[in-house]
Amino acid sequence: MPVRVSGLWFAIVAFGLLAGCVPALLDGTRPDGSAIHAMFYPGGGPLKDLLILDGTNYFGKAEVSATDPLADVKFRLETGQQIRAACRTYREAKDEHGEMVKKCTRYEVVASGFAKIPKGSVFKEPQTE
């Protein structure tokens, strides 16, 4: 017996699958003063992390500390190039449980083998839509 699936049910399931795909918007400035606008999509499981910069997809693996919000952020592209950014400025804010935590508001790239995001680039706190 065939099963009929309504359009609404399909939309709900599709939304649920894509809900985890909320990008972090990364706005920064290179040392030469030019702007950097990128989007970062975390992978998870078998999916690789994705950085979209200048309309080009760069797959790789991000490393972020779950226990230290002020720790360095690292991204290794599939090509082997790496980017490492250190937290330079932070603020205290309440988390989802109402507890005060430190949040990094400004990152500086301290090491990079990726020419589009060179050493010395500065990024604001990532924003999610």
Give 60-114 pLDDT, tens digit per residue: 999 988 777 788 999 999 999 999 999 999 999 888 889 898 888 999 999 999 9
Tell me yes or no: is domain 23-128 CATH 2.40.128.
Answer: yes
Decide if pLDDT at 22 tops 70. Answer: yes
Give residue limits of the domains in the chain.
23-128
Bridge partners for 102 per DSSP: 92
Decide if pLDDT at 129 tops 70. Answer: no
Which single residue is written with the structure tokens 């002020």?
70
Average pLDDT, the chain: 84
Of residues 121 and 127, more confidence is placed in 121
